[in-house]
Structure formats: structure tokens, C-alpha cells
A and B are shown apart, each in its own frame.
Chain A
Amino acid sequence: MTATVTSMAGKSTARYRTMTWVWRAVAVLFAAVTVFPVYWMVQSAFEPNSEITSLTPSFFPLHFTLHDFVDAIDHTAGVGTAYFWDDARNSLFVVGTAVIVTLVFSFMAAAAISRFRLVGTTAFLVMILVVQMVPGTAMLIPVYLLLNGLHLTDTYLGLILAYSASTLPFTVWALKGFVRGVPIELEEAAMVDGASRLGAFFRILLPLVLPGLISSGIFAFITAWNDFVVANVFMTENFRQTLPVWLYSFSTNTGTDYGGLMAGCTIMSLPVVIFFLIVQRRIVSGLTAGAVTG
């Protein structure tokens, strides 16, 4: 009995080992395919144009150059391409403000939902779920009509409102989970020591959910930073647009300047990649927690 078990185990261990090597090879291949587009972006961004428009692409930049970045930032050839600095500033301002608005609003809502037995909380949460299911592009028409009627198109306020509203459902849902993770006793202790209810929220709860605020904030930042379609519809003036719109007009106006384009992509992606590396772990664990426990 013992003999058969061990011999079976021995056989399957050998097979297991070979299979492990097969899986490792598959993993390496998968990693290479996954990272290749990113690698290609960076390498094209540092390549002179002569190498980019060569019929046999080289896999490393033979002559390292920063010329593509200058090209991307100072490009003046076509309409709407010379606005890199304007659009970068707009992106930072609009997205930054939207993130702050979203975070403040959703922290308050999450605290209220988690710490009080508020009438209609279930309805509010169902509404948030349903709203999240409505595709963003479908909301584009009515939101445009609404803001157009209020003369808020071509204003930063309109864009800020649109981004805050579109990220709010997720941040409320996520922050609710984070607030729940903080023991209520800590706030009770503060209140025993004389803090008000609101004071306990801002002095005790707020610092403790800071990690949650940071990761939800970065989620909101990435969503708004990546948006092209809303900014493209709402903002008609070149100097009021955002970086994705700039990238788009750059790509349609310059056509084949792929060096400059890849430099532009690199600049645009950099803040997102940095933020992403910071929070990636939290986004996943936060969502799985929500899926399993509600």
C-alpha cells in the first residue's frame, strides 16, 4: 500500500517537474508579449527618426536621442498640436480638483453609510450599483446637453463635475469597505474624551482610512486622466483641452511622426504608471474583499 503510493507520487513528481518547466516557459513568453508594447513605446521614444522609419526596425535604439520629446512638446506643425504645456496643466488641474471633490464627498457618504443607520441606505447603495452599470459613453449625450444649457461646456467646472460624478460611485463603494475596517471603538474613545461626532470622523477616522483614500483617489485619478471622449466633446478650444485630446490631435495631425508620438505617450503614461505601482496591490485586495463579503 505504502509502496504503491510512493511510486505513484514519484512518477507524478517527475511529470510535475517537467510540467513546471513548461509552465515557466509559457510564463516567460506571456511576460514578453505583455511588456513588449510598453518597451516598444519607450524605445521608439528615444530613437531618432531615421531609425524609426527604417524598414528593418532595430530592437534597441542605436543612437539615443531626446529629440522626439522636444518634438512632442514643441510641435508647431499642425493645428492643436502646439498646446502640450496648456493641456498638461489643464489635465493636472482638472483631474486633481475632480479627485479632491470625489474623495471629500465619498468619504463623507461612506462614513454616514457605515456609522449610522440612515434611512434609505440600501436604496442608495443599489442606486450606486446600477449607476456603475450604465455605460459612460451613453451618459455623454445628456450630460453634454445639460452642461451646454448651463453654459458650462468649455469650462473647467463642467469637466470637473463630469469626472467627479463618474468616479464617485466606485470611490463610495470602496471607501465604505475601508471605513468598515476601522474599529468604531476608536471613535467612541475620542468622544468619551470630549470630541464631537464630526470631530471624531475627521480626527480619528480620516487618518485611519488614509490608505483607502489614497488608493481610491488614485483610482479616480487614473480614470479621469485617461478620459478622452468627455474632454473631446466638452472642450472645443485647443488651449482648454487635456492630454489625451492633445495626443489624439497630435496623432491625426502629424501622421507618421511616430517618434514624437511615442514620446508623447511616454510622457502621458508616466504619472499613471508611477501611481499605479503604488496602489496596484490595494485595488485588487479591496475589490476582492468587496466581492466576497459585500
Chain B
Amino acid sequence: MAAPTLPNLAPTRTQRLVPTPPSEVRHNQTKGNWRRTARRQLLPLLLVLPALGLLGFMTLYPLGRLIATSFQNLGAFQLIQHKVQWNGLANYRSLFTSTELGTSVLQTFVFVTACVGLTMTIGTGVALLLRRIGNVLRIVVSVCMVLAWAMPTSASSVIWTWLFEQEYGVANDLLTQLGFHFTDHNWFGSEISAYSIIVANIVWGAVPFVAFMMYSSFTLVPRDLYEAAAIDGASPAATFRGVTMPIVRPIFVLMTVLSIIWDANVFNQVWYLTEGNAQMLNVIPLGVWQYIEAFSNNEYGLGAAVAVITILLLLAVTGYYIRIMVRTGQVKAAART
């Protein structure tokens, strides 16, 4: 087993603090001569083509087809007969007139907010914690986190079902031993309690990544800034807000956006923990709902409409982040190198 599992960020720090190395400046000059010899655009185009083709075939085209399908009546019959039956806005109309959409959107919002909020808070807290404890303990905590992080979601969902099993689950036993009366408590009896376990499972799996990322981002903060803050008599909270946060904000925002996407996208945990019977929960997240419409009820058109709504809602959140990246020139900078 790799002994020190702590992320090493030395290269990142140099990248950030040291100005552009001379080699890169020269690289841009020599590039002109290079291109002439390299038949200009042909070779790079050939190199990009396979990736572009795969993305086009398996992602961009399906994305267009998803939007088209959401305006179609596509059931098992139409699928087998290869019939295209446009039905205009009927799918959307039936979604917007039903009460399910509103509750599902609200539920997804609360669910994702709970997951992301807990993950980011605990993750950042643990990252701060890792700085205050000794090396030995830090390695112990890191190893524990890596183990949790590495668990496949399908396996971890089965494990969590077992932990909270009604009769023989260890959670009920532990809680009873602590003096609470939890013998034979059915955790999946009510939706709130079932979702609490699903959220706990997700947060448990997501915290290590956020904690490691935040911990390594803290190493980007120059030590003399802390010294300056200490001389000025700033409290730890003020130092965190005024010194640490401004520097680690890009990573914090990235982690939040990634968490939002991942948690809005959660499927395995909901599916396994409710034993494939997600309909048993009256309220289901959008990602699971469109799956049920499409593959359990064979209403592909309706499922596609739910998926389109999900994508639009997510893009409203993440589009903001992409726009910042494009506007601040991060994408251009990435393209130039």
C-alpha cells in the first residue's frame, strides 16, 4: 500500500507562482517554423478526428435526438415499428399539467442542495482539520478516506442497505446500545428517512474527494500571507475569509459545480437503496424519473422531455460557471498552450 497518500501539489504551486518559463516563450516562436513543416492543419485535424467523431456520434447526435424525441410519441410499439410520430408539445404539456413535475423538481432541488451543502461543508471542514493534526493521524485519516472514496457506488449502496437493515443491521444495534430505542426500526418506512440514508451514502462517498481537493488547494496559499494576518491580529475565522478563501475560491466553485452535476445525476444510490422499486418512493429525483418513464413504462418521449428539462435546469446552474471560464479566458488560455 502506498504509504503517504497525501496529495502532492508542488508542481501546481510553481505553475501558479512562477511567471511563464522562458521555454514557453520560445515554444511560441518556434511554433511558426513547425507548422510549415507539419503540413499545417492536416495532421492535427487527423489527430483530433477520432475523438471528435466519437463525441459527435455518441454525444452530440444523441443530444439532438433527445430533444427531437421529447417532441415525439415514442412507446414500445413505435420503437419496434420504427415509426416516427411527432406529437408537438404533448409530452411537455402533460408534464407541466401534472403535479409530479413540480414536486420532482422541488425534491431534486432539496435533495441536491442537501447533498452538495453537506459535502462541501464537511469536505472543507475535514480539509481544515487535516492541517491541524499531526502527520501520522493525517495519513490514517487519508487512508480511511481513500477507502471510502474508492468504493464503487453500486457496492456502497448495497453496503448501506445492509448497515441499516431492519432486523440484523448494525446501525439499529449500535443506536439501541447507545440508549435509543431502535430495535427493528424500519429506515425505509418513510420517505424522509429513506432519503436521509441515501443522502448520507452519497455524502459519505463524496466528502473524501472534496476534502483532498480543498486540502491541496490550501497549500497554494503562501505562508507569509498567514504570517501577515497573524501579525495584524486577525482571528482564525477572519484569516480564513480574508486570506484563504479568495485564493482557493476557484477550486471551491469548481468542486461545488461538479458536485451539483454529480448529485443531480445520482442513480445507483437511489435505485439500489430502494431495491429497484423507486416508485415505492412517491417523490423521485428527475434523473430516476426519466429512467422509469423510458425504461420501465416504455414512454421514451415522455422520459426524453423529463431529461431535457433536467439538462436545462442544470445548465442554468452550470452555464454560469462555463461562462465565467470562457469569459476570463481560461478556455482560450487552455487552447493556446
Contacts and interface: CB of A to CB of B under 8 A. Distances in A.
Interface of A: 19-20, 23-24, 26-28, 30-32, 34-35, 37-38, 40-41, 44, 52-57, 101, 104-106, 108-109, 111-119, 121-122, 124-146, 148-149, 161-162, 164-166, 168-169, 172, 176, 180-181, 183-185, 188, 197-198, 222, 225-226, 228-229, 233, 244, 247-248, 251-252, 258, 261-262, 264-265, 268-269, 272-273, 276-278, 280-281, 284-285, 287-289, 291-294
A258 B290 CA distance: 30
Contacts of B1: 277
Interface stretch (B53-61, B97-105, B187-195, B238-246): B53-61
Given A138-B66, A291-B250, A165 B59 contact: yes
Contacts of A114: 337
Nearest to B146: A280
Contacts of A52: 168
B9 A288 contact: yes
Contact of A285 (B8, B37, B65): B8
Given A165-B54, A228-B154, A37 B287 contact: no
A146 B11 contact: no
Contacts of B119: none
Given A23-B133, A108-B51, A180-B337, A268 B152 contact: yes
A34 B8 contact: no
Contact of A37 (B156, B290, B319): B156
Interface in B78-103: 79, 82
A30 B129 CA distance: 10
**Closest CB pairs A-B (n = 3):** A165-B58, A294-B330, A142-B62
Given A142-B304, A165-B55, A165-B59, 9 more contacts: A23-B129, A55-B173, A114-B337, A119-B41, A134-B63, A183-B23, A197-B34, A277-B2, A288-B220
B147 A35 contact: yes
Interface in B257-282: 261, 264-265, 267-268, 271-272, 275-276
Given A34-B144, A105-B54, A121 B151 contact: no
Interface of B: 1-2, 5-9, 11-12, 15-16, 23, 26-27, 30-31, 34-35, 37-38, 41, 43-45, 47-48, 50-52, 54-55, 57-63, 65-66, 69, 74, 79, 82, 126, 129-130, 132-134, 137, 140-141, 144-156, 158-163, 165, 167-168, 170, 173, 204, 207-209, 212-213, 216-217, 220, 250-251, 254, 261, 264-265, 267-268, 271-272, 275-276, 287-288, 290-291, 294-295, 300, 303-304, 307-308, 310-311, 314-315, 318-319, 322, 325-326, 329-335, 337
B167 A281 contact: no
A184 to B, nearest CB: 5
A238 B298 CA distance: 21
Nearest to A274: B150
B15 A293 contact: yes
Contact of B58 (A31, A125, A161, A258): A161
B265 A135 contact: yes
B304 A40 contact: no
Given A23-B133, A129-B331, A146-B62, A34 B208 contact: yes
B267 A142 contact: no
Contacts of B209: 284
Given A116-B38, A118-B44, A280-B5, A288 B251 contact: yes
Given A226-B152, A288-B217, A291-B250, A141 B300 contact: yes
A229 B12 contact: no
**What is the interface of chain B mostly: helix, strand, loop, or mixed?**
helix
A145 B300 contact: yes
Nearest to B67: A142
A268 B154 contact: yes
